[in-house]
């Protein structure tokens, strides 16, 4: 796939098969994250936590469901891997940069996942749900002065994604 084909095929996947992704697929996703643009190249202000433990995934999923007020929902959609990004957040500016950095890492992984035939979805709701849960943040290895900034759920999709028609009208644009 070329870049435009991958972009056209990328979509949010919300139904996963239970099998775990391979170590090689995970390695490539992490390579994609490490190749993302990062503000002032301050890589030390970011941390990646890969969650593949079924127990920990279930705990995060349940916290998310509670947060959304619907214990029957599964905001991680049964994905077998959750890649969580946290970032340095000493002040509001650092926090803002960390959020931007996380989005860059996540989008790089989202596109690479598409290229590899994996399903993936950006996860923010569930991350908001556990941001203040220090015990859970500690389990994820998040340093005290870091904040959870976002995540991507990854796994084999239940359905093959369709290629979308690429348009320019969805987002209002001005050309000056």
Task: Write out the residues near ligand FMN by the rule CB under 6 A.
Answer: 11-12, 14, 121-125
Q: Whole-number minimum distance, CB 144 to ligand FMN, in Å?
A: 25
Q: Which residue, 11 or 116, is less far from ligand FMN as judged by CB?
A: 11
Q: Whole-number minimum distance, CB 64 to ligand FMN, in Å?
A: 8
Q: Which residue, 42 or 124, is less far from ligand FMN as judged by CB?
A: 124
How many CB atoms are located within 10 Å of the residue 167 CB?
7
Q: How many residues does the chain have?
A: 176
Q: Which residue, 44 or 120, is less far from ligand FMN as judged by CB?
A: 120
Q: Whole-number minimum distance, CB 20 to ligand FMN, in Å?
A: 20
Q: What is the 3-state secondary structure (H, E, C) of the chain?
A: CCHHHHHHHCCECCCECCCCCCHHHHHHHHHHHHCCCCHHHCHHHEEEEEECCHHHHHHHHHHHHHHCCCCCCCCCCCCCEEEEEEEECCCHHHHHHHHHHHHHHHHHHHHHHHHCCCEEEEECHHHHHHCCCHHHHHHCCCCCCEEEEEEEEEECECCCCCCCCCCCCCCCCCCC
Q: Which residue, 95 or 124, is less far from ligand FMN as judged by CB?
A: 124
Q: Whole-number minimum distance, CB 77 to ligand FMN, in Å?
A: 7
Q: Which residue, 44 or 159, is less far from ligand FMN as judged by CB?
A: 159
Q: Whole-number minimum distance, CB 23 to ligand FMN, in Å?
A: 26
């Amino acid at each position: 796939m070329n870049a435009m084909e991958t972009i056209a095929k990328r979509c949010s996947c919300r139904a996963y098969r239970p099998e775990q992704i391979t170590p090689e697929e995970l390695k490539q996703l992490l390579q994609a994250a490490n190749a993302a643009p990062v503000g002032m190249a301050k890589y030390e202000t970011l941390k990646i936590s890969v969650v593949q433990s079924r127990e920990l995934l279930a705990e995060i999923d349940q916290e998310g469901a509670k947060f959304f007020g619907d214990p029957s929902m599964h905001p991680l959609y049964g994905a077998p891997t959750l890649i969580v990004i946290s970032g340095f957040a000493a002040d509001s500016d650092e926090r803002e940069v960390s959020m931007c950095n996380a989005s860059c890492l996540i989008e790089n992984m989202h596109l690479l996942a598409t290229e590899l035939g994996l399903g993936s979805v950006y996860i923010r709701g569930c991350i908001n749900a556990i941001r203040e849960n220090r015990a859970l943040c500690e389990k994820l290895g998040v340093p005290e002065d870091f904040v959870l900034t976002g995540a991507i759920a990854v796994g084999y999709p239940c359905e093959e994604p369709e290629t979308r028609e690429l348009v320019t009208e969805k987002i209002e644009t001005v050309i000056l």
